[in-house]
Amino acid sequence: MVSLIINLLQRLVLLHLCVVLFCGGSVWGLNYTKYRQVGDLRLARIQKHLDSLNKPPVFSVQSPDGDIIDCVHKRKQPALDHPLLKNHKIQRVPPEMPKVRPIEKQEEGEEGGKSVNTSQSHGYIRRGVWQMWHQNGQRCPKGTVPVRRSTVHDVMRANSLYDFGKKRRSIAPLARRADAPDVVSGNGHEHAIAYTGTSSEVYGAKATINVWDPKIEVLNEFSLSQIWVLSGSFDGSDLNSIEAGWQVSPELYGDSRPRLFTYWTSDAYQATGCYNLLCSGFIQTNSRIAIGAAISPLSEFQGSQFDVTIVIWKDPKLGNWWMGFGDDTLVGYWPAELFTHLADRATMVEWGGEVVNSRANGQHTSTEMGSGHFAEDGFGKASYFRNLEIVDSDNSLITARDISTLAENTNCYNIKSSGNNQWGTYFYYGGPGRNPQCQ
């Protein structure tokens, strides 16, 4: 009897190891059975990395979605482990917020489609988008910052410990005009974006984006909607990029919930930078917003629309690049020391969607971009970016005019831009991926 119990316990332990360490299973409709043996040495390396990443919390919050949010003293956060930030003092004086200019009247019009009457549809937009970990009413104490705890599960879903928290480097540049944005097709990434010209002197960007939960076909694919602030060579290895928005990435987070995210790199995604707080660099100052945490509630098809406003700008006094959420909430900043070209200014801004098309079954992915509907479906059905603005050398927000748009395969994902007095410059974008015209 005792031996039978021991045998049963051994089987349960092995089953637990299969779940925790081998990343097998089929979750959220994703089929990603991928068993990998994990040796003691590799597991020890993973745990050592997690110990350096997960700082001792003052307090922890158990989120309804399964996340653990650690409230870490702001002077103990991961950012300050960066070698370039050893002597960095956290900026205590609030940055000078970009000045808002009077609304400029715009003519109705749209590239490649009919103008949408946003004045009527605007009434269906609700504010107050927040994060799932707030639902139990708990908050991080003053003087701490919320950090989503990383787990062995998270690392095991990545290709390697080195790849954990990083974007895969581009393989081959897409043939494009000299002033077109930095997008690639060789690594299976597809976009529907709007962008400014490379001759611009830009000190930040802003937009309001509605949030959806696009379906993801394969574990290592993602769907995101974000702002890119860029400088450097698009064809070399010195591209600097600061990015923020929302994304669905089962590989990174272990679920299919849309989450607030950030990213940075100073060498074209080679060795520097990462998502969120998964490496040192981004310094968080806000105790209420957890980067990498799930956003709730979401937009509904032909129903209420939920959107978030994100602004990234360079503090004209100290030179750090700040991120704001909503109209006046400071999240944190990327210190100027992290960058080369962006230490001065940006030369291009991009807004829009990106997906990974891995062609896992020899055909185009069915991973959705945005709401999963094409741009021409309009308000309540398609995703949008509205009130596109850039920050000029006077630290003023101005409407982004004369933007260009790009989508590599409009049968899969597309974009249509327009402008009016209420939404300023805006666009609808997205698509379902694989369909009879997209194979």
| 24 token code pair | 């097998």
Are 430 and 192 in contact by the 8 Å Cβ rule? The answer is: yes
Are 367 and 336 in contact by the 8 Å Cβ rule? The answer is: no
Give me the DSSP letters along 230-264.
Answer: EES-SSSS--EEEEEEEEE-HHHHSS---EEEEEE
Of 190, 217, 354, 368, which is the active-site residue?
A: 354
Q: Tell me how crowded residue 83 is: count the other CB atoms within 10 A of its CB.
A: 7
Closest CA to 212 of 432, 438, 435: 432
Closest CA to 77 of 146, 14, 28: 146
**What are the CA-CA distances from residue 210 to residues 8, 34, 224, 295, 438 (Å)?**
50, 34, 12, 11, 25
Q: How far apart are the first and last CA of the chain?
A: 58
Q: CA-based angle 98:102:103, to the nearest 5?
A: 105
Of 190, 217, 243, 368, which is the active-site residue?
A: 243
300 counts as catalytic = no
Are 385 and 208 in contact by the 8 Å Cβ rule? The answer is: yes
Please list the residues that pair with 190 across neighbouring strands: 355
Give me the phi and psi of 205, to 5 degrees please: -155, 155
Determine which helix (DSSP H) or strand (DSSP E) holds 14, and give its type and residue range: helix 2-21
Please list the residues that pair with 414 across neighbouring strands: 430
SS3 437: coil
SS3 355: strand
DSSP H helix total and E strand total for the chain: 5, 25
DSSP state of 165: T
Distance (Å, whole) CA 167 – CA 410: 24
243 counts as catalytic = yes
Residues annotated as catalytic (active site), given as ranges: 243, 354
